[in-house]
Amino acid sequence: MTQIRALVTDFDGVHTDNTVLVDEEGRESVSCSRRDGMGIELLRERGLHLLILSREANPVVRSRARKLRMEVMHHVLDKLPALDDWRREAQLQWEEIVYIGDDINDIDCLKACGLGAVPADAHKDAKAHADLILTEKGGKGAIRELCDYLIGKGLHV
């Protein structure tokens, strides 16, 4: 069994349900699950490295990461090289990382990490490369389900 030492998450479609609200000034807002936030807190208490890795450039990603006390890399167009740099800096092995993403731009990371998970409503191609397909949807408890799964496994996979 491999010890899990890090959780890396995509943002849109994982922390959110992929819905964006845009006001008349062009400001965007999203909704996130507080249950997911509690799951992240439980993993932080267990000493896991926590990272949001997102293609999205919106400041809402950084705001949510700050609230959850997670590291953040956003506006990343090619996720795998960025994740590899972060992994090396954190002195992690690929098999020690759990990745959760929901779309085709997450596939390389899903395949590279020790455990690749997707929300129930992920794109079919992402699902095809996942080790774990969750029953909850993005923004509706998928992260919390994954956190509970990891804690239930003693953070081993």
Q: Global pTM?
A: 0.95
Q: What is the DSSP code (8-state) at residue 2? A: P
Q: Sheet with 71-74: list strands edge to edge.
A: 71-74, 49-54, 6-9, 97-100, 115-118, 132-133
Task: Specify the pLDDT at position 86.
Answer: 98
Query: pLDDT band at residue 1, thresholds of 50, 70 and 90?
Result: low
User: What's the rounded Cα separation, in Å, for the pair 34 and 141?
Assistant: 8
Q: What is the DSSP code (8-state) at residue 18? A: S
Q: Would strands 115-118 and 97-100 be described as parallel, antiparallel, or unpaired?
A: parallel
pLDDT (tens digit per residue) in 39-52 = 999 999 999 999 99
